[in-house]
A and B are shown apart, each in its own frame.
Chain A
């Protein structure tokens, strides 16, 4: 049986966990002192050896990303933390930064030192006011304590860290759109190559990492790569925060080794809400193809979820029981993608618009069998043809739901209406 492994969440039950005093009491910033005595390249090697893979969804090895920085670029290097957590269902970085912003700050300092950057940014979404306050306060406390600024702890190493607030755009979670936004432009993705490692922020070599990835760095440097790989699976090492939401008895954050299954997590969370059964779920946010109760035992690691036809994504486990209409769910996600499409490329901009139109009709019971074929054909023209992953992600719920729940789409137009009652899905249903 897999058990939980609180590392990042370990101090969250301390009322002052977000303060410098609370963080230092639990050993915070101790690793920073050690790290500043290490060779930067040794830290990069430790992170490489740990097998840490990006926790923002794509799962690219973090140490390898750092290794892509050209050794001899004349431009300054930057570290940018992607704290624009907006993927539907994803809700791990926000509580992390609210309860323990200092572990992120310490991770930023160690990581910046490792990649020889003297300027770092945390790009946080703008709709989370209290989290922004906590980040601002943590950064101010770190400056005050001499962990940021000039000659950090007498090491001769300088680092400036800026908390930068976004303004409401899902697309800015895409790393190159984030860079454009951070430079003061509309958040639209850039053509790659060049990759940010070569030409990123202000054209300089740039590393962009997710909050949870950077927050994992202090514990890896402190405890070693072997410690990290003792958790998780061979190719998906370590721990991660799994976020359970929806129709489960105890929704919340569960930090566990990668490779845990939904069955195990549901056991811990008290199961599906009383009197109901699992219908469908997302393994890693709305951009990952949906799963059903047939996938309860798929190990939640990058390889196994991929082999089962979806993606681990952000471990955003949105759980829907049998009262939920899958067409309604997919329509709403499609409306989201249409709203958030940046408009730069035609397949995504037009494709998500037509998704919305067709799914509205289908949900209202006015569609036809032909609409399903058109939806799939349209998906063919979005996936792999969009400028960035937003378009690809938009196809996931549509294609996977038609594959798994075609009958339910058919029922809608055969009956001329949606066969479900939304009132039965609510938090207060049966109350």
Chain B
């Protein structure tokens, strides 16, 4: 976010939707706004909503959000440019993420990225000319036990290799059916995914596995060895006094005029979590 990126939002001469699209957007936006005690809370889902129509954040989308929430377009732009899921330029119908945070990178994410990017011929946050596929170097996506991890339109593709990654993208470009490791029985488009993020379910929640194999490893071992949590009525040997406020040192309260983090000796880990 503090990267030296300049977000150039494409300015349309008439930042307006055609009446039919506009009417649909208004209906959806009002539904979103009604979920919250205060209207402005609707802004993030509404940006996902306009992205579900335009594919990225356009001036029309910004102006629409501003008008619906009675704030300025500059205020909406300030929010839209802060979050990486809001795209400044069109992405592909299938937006492909490769996790390059440390663990996935080490497990092969870096090699996947290099080979895939060369294979497709596009770089970070760039789309192919046919508009089918775009690539992004993504940060940790909370699936580290499945490393190296990729995503397509925010669905999980686990335990990837450079070969599987290239095949995946080739299949997407060829219009072949591609299935996520932990996701529904069909891959939705970027715009369809954005609509779910805006809070409009697509009815696919019941499809796909409940858990990946890695998620079950501890449970399976416990079953195999007969390990369980203690039963509720068992006699408990230990009887502890609950932890008291004074015994907990983290997180230290921030006090005005004092270093945030409390009286921590700078540069040391002292005073934290002792």
Contact = CB atoms under 8 A, between A and B. Distances in A.
Contacts of A88: 101-103, 139-140, 144
Interface in A374-431: 376-377, 379-381, 383-389, 392, 395-396, 399-400, 422-423, 425-428
Interface stretch (B7-15, B19-27, B168-176, B250-258): B250-258
Nearest to A387: B260
Interface in B50-89: 69, 78-79, 82-86
Contacts of B228: 5-6
A365 interface: no
A266 interface: no
Interface in B30-57: 35-38, 40-45, 47-48
Given A191-B254, A338-B2, A385-B259, A222 B232 contact: yes
Most chain B CB atoms below 10 A, which of A3, A85, A305: A3
A299 interface: no
Interface in A84-130: 85-91, 93-95, 98-99, 119, 125-130
Nearest to B229: A5
Contacts of B180: 130
B177 interface: no
Contact of B45 (A164, A303, A307): A164
Contacts of A269: 217
B210 A14 contact: yes
B85 A126 contact: yes
A119 B101 CA distance: 35
Instruction: Give the one of A130, A311, A320, A422 with max B CB within 10 A.
Output: A130
User: In this complex, which of B156, B206, B269 has the most chain A Cβ atoms within 10 angstroms of its Cβ?
Assistant: B269
Find the residue from B40, B208, B214 having the highest chain A CB count within 10 A: B214
Interface size class, chain B: 35 or more
Nearest to A389: B251
Interface string B245-274: 101111101111001111011111100111
Contacts of B120: none
B92 interface: no
A328 B223 CA distance: 39
Given A17-B210, A311-B273, A380 B242 contact: no
A254 B103 contact: no
Contacts of B37: 76, 119, 202
Contact of B156 (A93, A130, A226, A338): A130
Given A137-B201, A318-B102, A384-B259, A63 B267 contact: no
Interface residues of A, number: 151
B247 A235 contact: yes
Interface of B is mostly: loop
B33 to A, nearest CB: 10
B197 interface: yes
B118 interface: no
A36 interface: no
Contacts of A187: 82-83
A302 interface: yes
B201 A136 contact: yes
Nearest to A127: B154
Contact of A137 (B79, B205, B240, B255): B205
A239 B101 contact: no
B83 A324 contact: no
A183 B41 contact: yes
B243 A126 contact: no
Contacts of A380: 266-267
B47 to A, nearest CB: 7
Contacts of A94: 142-143
A428 B151 CA distance: 20
A392 B264 CA distance: 11
Contacts of A184: 38, 40-44, 69, 79
Contacts of B218: 4, 6, 9, 242, 252-256, 268
Contact of A128 (B142, B147, B204): B142
A388 B260 contact: yes
Contacts of B36: 162
A12 B227 CA distance: 15
A244 interface: yes
A133 B205 contact: yes
Contact of B232 (A227, A253, A254, A333): A227
Contacts of A167: 44, 47-48, 83-86, 197
Contacts of B221: 4, 254, 268
B222 A3 contact: yes
B182 interface: yes
13 contacts: A5-B230, A13-B216, A61-B248, A91-B142, A163-B199, A165-B45, A165-B198, A184-B79, A186-B79, A222-B232, A230-B230, A251-B146, A381-B266
Given A12-B210, A91-B143, A181-B44, 15 more contacts: A3-B227, A58-B250, A93-B142, A162-B36, A164-B45, A167-B48, A231-B230, A252-B145, A253-B214, A254-B221, A268-B218, A332-B100, A376-B267, A383-B268, A386-B260
Interface of B: 1-3, 35-38, 40-45, 47-48, 69, 78-79, 82-86, 97, 100-103, 105-108, 110-111, 138-148, 151, 153-156, 159, 161, 180, 182-184, 193, 196-199, 201-202, 204-206, 208-223, 225, 227-230, 232, 234, 236-243, 245, 247-251, 253-256, 259-262, 264-269, 272-274
